Amino acid sequence: MVRTLVLGGARSGKSAHAEGLLPGDGPVTYLATARRHPDDADWDARIAAHVDRRPPSWSTVEVPDTASLVGALASARADGPPLLLDDVATWLAGAMDDAGAWASAGVSMVDARARLVGAVAGCAARLVVVSAEVGLGVVPSTRSGRLFRDELGAVNASLAEVCSEVLLLVAGLPLRLR
């Protein structure tokens, strides 16, 4: 089965490009990793903008934690609708929250990464995965920023190993890496 990883920086067009890789006139299951935050109107507006541009034939499944995300990928069928996972960076931030990684230097994300990558590799449906590329900029000045950058880089590299196509969006333009 074809698995595509779409990487890009903030506002690079990665999500819109990933959406365009899937049929706009048929069913698609959108796996949304964002967690809702009470009293964060800006975050709600960003989520709403993503929802508003999806075709009406697409369904959304909220998968804000590792168990629900892995379960959704594992339950997909080859004869079922394609999946769009958007996005790995928001999943990772939540997984790091759940693990207490921000407060403790000894927390490992290896198991969560392995569970996600294994589920992507085993997904029977057509799958497009969106993730942020954060390793091209300035070295973050905080421990949490460096930790997130390093963990996301490791997740992206592991996902690239199991995806048959890898794209990088720069200024809205897709570059085919594989």
Catalytic residue at 37? no
Rounded Cα gap, residues 7 and 168, in angstroms: 5
pLDDT tens sequence across 124-176? 999 999 999 998 878 889 999 999 999 999 999 999 999 999 999 999 999 99
Would you place residue 5 in the very low, low, confident or very high pLDDT band (cuts 50, 70, 90)? very high
Please give the CATH superfamily to which domain 3-176 belongs.
P-loop containing nucleotide triphosphate hydrolases (3.40.50.300)
Least confident residue range of 9-23, 39-53, 87-101: 39-53
Could you say which of 50, 54, 115, 149 is catalytic?
50
Residue whose token pair is 């069928």: 77
pLDDT for 103 beyond 80: yes
For residue 66, what pLDDT is reported?
96
Q: What pTM value is reported for the model?
A: 0.94
CA quadruple 31, 53, 41, 152: dihedral sign: positive
pLDDT for 104 beyond 90: no
3-state SS, one letter per residue, for the chain:
CCEEEEEECCCCCHHHHHHHCCCCCCCEEEEECCCCCCCCHHHHHHHHHHHHCCCCCEEEEECCCHHHHHHHHHHCCCCCCCEEEECHHHHHHHHHHHHCCCCCCCCCCHHHHHHHHHHHHHCCCCEEEEEECCCCCCCCCCHHHHHHHHHHHHHHHHHHHHCCEEEEEECCEEEECC
130 and 21 Cβ atoms separated by less than 8 Å: no
Domain borders along the chain are 3-176
pLDDT tens sequence across 41-77? 888 888 888 788 888 999 999 999 999 999 999 999 9
Rounded Cα gap, residues 50 and 24, in angstroms: 14
For residue 106, what pLDDT is reported?
84
For residue 173, what pLDDT is reported?
94
